[in-house]
A = this chain, B = another copy of it.
Amino acid sequence: MEKIIDKARILIEALPYINEFKGKIFVIKYGGSAMKDKNLKQQVMKDVALLSSVGIKPVVVHGGGSDISKLLQSVGQESTFVDGIRVTNDDNIDYVEMMLSGKLNKQIVSDINYYQGKAVGISGRDGGMIQAVSLEGEKDGMSRVGKTVKIDASLLYTLLDAGYVPIVSPLGVDENGKSLNINADEVAGEIASELKAEKLIYLTDVDGVLDDGKLISQIDSKGASALIENGVISGGMIPKVSYCIKSNVSNVHILNGTLEHSLLLEIFTQEGIGTKIIK
């Protein structure tokens, strides 16, 4: 009996967090290892369904990584990367888009719906949401890699207002209607900024921002800028952290997505489990 009462106590502990975040928008970037393991994937989807059920408004942006490479391999194409960006052009863009918008996006949708969420999968082409330009000029061979020019958030608001969880595949569209492959971290950040999100959460493969091997639980944007300058924060972590520094996003969280229920633990407990960058 005491054990069952403990359950109630844990629910009650969540009360202040639910009240604080109700009606707020959380943009969640989901990719990497957390997306590969089937069991982990289910935990994440359950977490998203719970956030939505208590009145938080999650928007999920997903990546594709290894699944795209596998598909390309099956049709005899190699995957090449420059500066961590997949070389995407007319030869492979269709496969990239099919995997992202046709397979991974819809799987996430069905998983969340299975846990009683109400998810809808869209890509940046839908409703002309992500207007982008090709990187062709800047980076050779990257004719179908895009950079976000403008987010038209009206479709997102339509879905959020109707209680849906938008699942966004990171494709944009250029002025001729051509699709462009965009870095999912960037898409998540730009959408979060346009929506003035309460939280932008990156589910990564690492525990958070580490300083000399030690996790930094919380840091403000000034402190984060300093860590970027002195090189503690580097590589792909820089753009993630920067969305808190220079955009409309209130908080950025860097979490280890391979840790079970990391999303819930970061949001619904005092300590959190990753790094939180505050404005």
Contacts and interface: CB of A to CB of B under 8 A. Distances in A.
Interface in A155-175: 155, 158-159, 162, 164, 171, 173
Contacts of A38: none
A248 to B, nearest CB: 23
A137 interface: no
Given A15-B46, A98-B98, A126 B116 contact: no
Given A101-B101, A103-B102, A119-B127, A177 B261 contact: no
Given A97-B103, A120-B155, A114 B177 contact: yes
A94 B28 CA distance: 25
Contacts of A74: 75
A244 B106 CA distance: 32
Interface in A73-120: 74-75, 94, 97-103, 105-106, 109-111, 113-116, 118-120
A122 B123 contact: no
A215 interface: no
A16 interface: yes
A80 B16 CA distance: 42
Interface of A: 4-5, 7-16, 18-19, 22, 46-47, 49-50, 53-55, 71, 74-75, 94, 97-103, 105-106, 109-111, 113-116, 118-123, 125-128, 154-155, 158-159, 162, 164, 171, 173, 176-179, 259-261, 264-265, 268-269, 273
Nearest to A20: B116
B120 A106 contact: no
Nearest to A4: B265
A19 to B, nearest CB: 5
Contact of A55 (B5, B49, B54): B54
A162 to B, nearest CB: 4
Nearest to A77: B74
Contact of A114 (B97, B119, B176): B176
A11 B8 contact: no
Identical subunits present: 6
Contact of A171 (B75, B106, B155): B106
Contact of A121 (B14, B47, B125, B260): B125
A128 B98 CA distance: 20
A16 B75 CA distance: 41
A19 B52 CA distance: 10
A57 B178 CA distance: 25
A177 B18 contact: no
Contact of A261 (B9, B101, B159): B9
12 contacts: A7-B265, A10-B10, A14-B50, A54-B55, A106-B125, A106-B171, A113-B127, A113-B128, A120-B155, A121-B122, A158-B158, A158-B159
